[in-house]
A and B are shown apart, each in its own frame.
Chain A
Amino acid sequence: EAQVTQNPRYLITVTGKKLTVTCSQNMNHEYMSWYRQDPGLGLRQIYYSMNVEVTDKGDVPEGYKVSRKEKRNFPLILESPSPNQTSLYFCASSAGLAGLPRYEQYFGPGTRLTVT
């Protein structure tokens, strides 16, 4: 089954404790992206990756890191989480075509993060 998986689905942590949210897709997609969803703000892009070893900032990258060492995995790293990073996070992927992503992105089920 074609899918994007995220782990963990729920996480409660404390300020400053480093954490990683994993994202994996089994569709051989080139393009992957991280979004956060906050009430009244919709979905906002954090980081994206056009291909292995190619990553770039989205609209709200502060406080986050990513890496793309393998095509299927795109982990989101919070080196020192703060309460304003409490949010619902989605990983997404889409097939690339000559370096351009298709826009019909497949989303993971989401990770609800609470930072106290």
Chain B
Amino acid sequence: DQQVKQNSPSLSVQEGRISILNCDYTNSMFDYFLWYKKYPAEGPTFLISISSIKDKNEDGRFTVFLNKSAKHLSLHIVPSQPGDSAVYFCAATVYTGANSKLTFGKGITLSVRP
């Protein structure tokens, strides 16, 4: 059972435009969410996170929005740059869980066209 779903496997946008990457989750216990970016032949790198007590968190060109009632979060990248082309993983966790493990989605491949 996929608890974190990234239903769109890929997204292509023009440089300078907005990229919106979506993520849905089913486990209502999740209260902390993260986005990771992964380039080929490298490990994932942390991008941005959000706690369930917030509905928005911003870091430069990256903003994550959380809609708890819909169990949905999205990552906005504005403006998109060719260097943003990568696989983006959404992850979720229970902040005070004994394991505190991250549950990842399958990833979305973002391509930013020059």
Q: Interface digits, A94-114 against B, CB 8 Å rule (1 contact, 0 not)? A: 000000110111111110000
Q: Report A-chain residues with C-beta under 8 Å of the C-beta of B96.
A: 100
Q: Does B43 contact A (CB under 8 A)?
A: yes
In the complex the two chains form, is B46's CB within 8 Å of A106's CB?
yes
Would you give the shortest CB distance from B84 to chain A, in whole angstroms? 18
Name the residue on A nearest B96 (C-beta): A100
In the complex the two chains form, is A104's CB within 8 Å of B46's CB?
yes
Given A40-B106, A42-B105, A42-B107, check contact A103 B45 (CB 8 Å).
no
In the complex the two chains form, is A42's CB within 8 Å of B104's CB?
yes
Q: Report B-chain residues with C-beta under 8 Å of the C-beta of A56.
A: 99
Q: Interface digits, A31-59 against B, CB 8 Å rule (1 contact, 0 not)? A: 10101000011111100100000001011
Q: Report A-chain residues with C-beta under 8 Å of the C-beta of B89.
A: 42-43
In the complex the two chains form, is A44's CB within 8 Å of B102's CB?
no
In the complex the two chains form, is B32's CB within 8 Å of A110's CB?
no
Given A42-B4, A44-B104, A109-B41; 9 other pairs, CB 8 A cutoff = A40-B106, A45-B101, A48-B99, A103-B102, A105-B102, A106-B46, A107-B36, A109-B43, A110-B42
In the A-B complex, list the 10 residue pairs whose CB atoms are closest, starting with the nearest: A107-B43, A43-B104, A42-B106, A104-B46, A42-B104, A107-B44, A45-B101, A101-B100, A109-B43, A108-B43
Q: Which residues of chain A have a CB within 8 Å of any CB of chain B?
A: 4, 31, 33, 35, 40-45, 48, 56, 58-59, 90, 92, 100-101, 103-110
